[in-house]
Amino acid sequence: MKILITGTAGFIGYHLVKKLAGKGMEITGIDNINDYYDVNLKYARLHDTGIKKDEIEPDKTVKSGSISGYSFIKTDLSDRERVLEVFGTGKFDLVCHLAAQAGVRYSIENPKAYIESNLNGFANILEGCRQYGARHLVYASSSSVYGMNETMPFSTRHNVDHPVSLYAATKKSNELIAHSYSYLYNIPVTGLRFFTVYGPWGRPDMALFRFVKNVLAGKPIEVYNHGRMERDFTYIDDIVTGIEKVLGKIPAGDPHWNAKDPDPSSSTAPYKIYNIGRGEPVNLLKFIEVLENTLGMPCEKELMPIQPGDVIKTWADTGELEADTGYRPDTPVETGVKRFVEWYLDFYNESVRQ
């Protein structure tokens, strides 16, 4: 079984490679290693999967020194010809597309990066699947697509036509384009709407990472909307277990799909959308309290107004994913935060100042 995973220098992609290691798959990872955040962390993730920094060159295939059957290629998904070359050489059975320009707030400052990566790059992945016959494409969408929707919990049957950030709009666009390709070319595609993923090796722009960094530096943490926020925090191990299950659940068209009362999450085409989250929203101040208990020290809070593009609450209805795949997230935030803090202190050689 050959699988292409995009974004393997990234947070989720790194963990998925580790999850699939030793399971008899031939894994090809690609990433452009951009500088949206600290590239040293990205290279460290690659190093932990056996990919040496000094061997990485653009478009060169580097074999892992520790994971059998894993190879990495540094390339940019917006380069259509190069992406198609990778597909032509790899002849992949499965594709898991996780690479994207991330970040809601950054999309306000630099919209072009989101067009290039999240739209053009995604179209190139779909073309690769079309031209070289991948059996299943699983791709990363986002809980951000729910936008102005206030019906809780968020269901894949809800309308998501009112995103409040460009990032969310690109993810919604991915779902629409994926459906078109699925319908026209009979490509099985599954989109996963991720809900606030956190854990060891996480992204520095995410709340938990920023909180820990500031607290250890003796700085206040920025708490948006004065803490009146709720997030469906989902631990990384639960996420990659869910992805693995979905990879093996190749969608078929639903013969009972009703065009007069359409279900947005399915189709007559082999197309499916799932929420993948914990299914239990946590108040932001409660989350910070868990962090304080873990660190054994208080967090000085700088209460701030809500940021443009943010939503107040997210809450995933994961019932369909659970029914179809057996997905069962089981990591409470107390455990997840503890594991992140332990990783952070070890990775950055930090200590907690009492």
Residues belonging to the active site: 167
How remote is the C-alpha of 85 from its chain's centroid?
Answer: 25
For residue 198, what are the β-bridge partners?
235
Are 240 and 12 spatial neighbours (Cβ–Cβ below 8 Å)?
Answer: yes
Type of residue numbered 307? Q
> At a CB cut-off of 8 Å and minimum separation 6, what does 130 contact?
181, 185, 187
Give the closest residue to 16 by CA, choosing from 346, 242, 251.
242
How remote is the C-alpha of 174 from its chain's centroid?
Answer: 14
CA gap 240, 56 in Å, rounded: 25
> At a CB cut-off of 8 Å and minimum separation 6, what does 17 contact?
5, 8, 27, 29, 49, 67, 70
Secondary structure (3-state) at 258: coil
Phi, psi for 148 (deg, rounded to 5): -80, 0
CA gap 231, 313 in Å, rounded: 6
Give the closest residue to 100 by CA, choosing from 194, 190, 235.
194
CA gap 258, 211 in Å, rounded: 47
Q: How many Cβ atoms are within 10 Å of 111's Cβ, its own excluded?
A: 16
